[in-house]
């Protein structure tokens, strides 16, 4: 069995920026243990797997536009939503498979997701998730090494800190963060002086990712939060990881639109023995 592998830097304007994702198109689903082993071998924050068959239980979709079943795996677990690997998958499909398509549809654990062309980049259409205020946990502040002004909880635990430099200079205790019962911990602040509306970093130790370079799915939580605080539904965000990446956000009620560009890094083929792989 030969499986294509395309590695793409998402939310990137040049090589070695943004977040690298592996995209692996399949003719049909392999057993979950093999998908997990492939993601572990790729050793990127996410590997995206797609098949062209949509499950019967999926709600109706636009039959005139390409549709795929999309799943994402970190080196440790399968996740419910991933922005950068969806962006990378769309870039591959628009470039290599559907050059004339205007819109792609992806059935996922988080329902239908959509991606449209936007000049040289793409717009992700994701469900919004408004974080709820929670008490600041001293254990988390100690693990992060900085005090939080406020804390919020959605899919991830969000700590708001004093300023962008505090976010940039964080050096967390990943072992401590891995003990928390959440997918990840996001640290964020207003973007004063950075040229962006807000900044963040994402730590996903529990999911097998100490720090994710650029986390699209976190911005479907951060953008609604900052839209309310800043009084604007159109926001520019910068993730201050070592690689760095910019996410343009637009909050439209129950949906959050995330814009970015991609840079293809490599193409290859994975060879596997067939026995025992089919799902």
Look-up: residue for tokens 């953008």? 223
> Residue 37: what are its φ and ψ, rounded to 5°?
-65, -40
Nearest 5 degrees, angle CA 133-CA 254-CA 195? 70
Contacts of 202 (CB under 8 A, 6+ apart): 156, 184, 185, 186, 211, 212, 215, 218, 239, 241
Among left, alpha and beta (phi > 0; psi -120 to 50; other), residue 54 is beta
Q: Is the distance from CB of 139 to CB of 147 less than 8 angstroms? A: no
Look-up: residue for tokens 């990881």? 241
Q: Which whole-number Å values give the CA distances from 248 to 8, 31, 83, 263, in the listed order? A: 19, 36, 12, 17
User: What is the Cα 46 distance to its own chain's centre?
Assistant: 8
Known catalytic residues are 46
Q: Which whole-number Å values give the CA distances from 33 to 79, 97, 192, in the listed order? A: 14, 28, 45
């Amino acid at each position: 069995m030969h499986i294509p592998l395309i590695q793409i830097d998402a939310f990137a304007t040049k090589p070695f920026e943004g977040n690298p994702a592996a995209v692996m198109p399949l003719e049909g689903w392999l057993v979950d243990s093999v998908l997990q082993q492939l993601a572990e071998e790729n050793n990127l924050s996410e590997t995206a797997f797609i098949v062209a068959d949509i499950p019967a239980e999926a709600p109706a979709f636009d039959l005139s536009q390409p549709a795929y079943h999309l799943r994402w795996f970190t080196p440790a677990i399968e996740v419910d939503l991933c922005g950068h690997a969806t962006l990378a998958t769309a870039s591959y499909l628009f470039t290599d498979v559907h050059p004339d398509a205007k819109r792609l549809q992806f059935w996922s654990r988080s329902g239908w997701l959509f991606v449209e062309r936007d000049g040289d980049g793409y717009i992700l259409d994701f469900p919004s998730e408004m974080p709820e205020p929670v008490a600041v946990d001293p254990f988390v502040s100690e693990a992060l090494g900085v005090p939080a002004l406020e804390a919020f909880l959605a899919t991830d635990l969000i700590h708001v800190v004093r300023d962008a430099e505090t976010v940039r200079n964080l050096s967390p205790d990943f072992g401590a963060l891995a003990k928390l019962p959440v997918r990840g911990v996001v640290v964020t602040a207003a973007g004063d002086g950075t040229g962006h509306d807000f900044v963040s970093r994402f730590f996903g130790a529990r999911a097998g990712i100490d720090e994710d370079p650029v986390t699209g799915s976190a911005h479907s939580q951060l953008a609604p939060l900052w839209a309310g605080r800043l009084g604007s539904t159109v926001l520019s965000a910068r993730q201050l990881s070592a690689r760095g990446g910019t996410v343009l956000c637009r909050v439209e009620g129950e949906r959050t639109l995330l814009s970015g560009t991609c840079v293809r890094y490599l193409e290859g083929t994975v060879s596997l023995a067939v026995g025992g792989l089919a799902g």
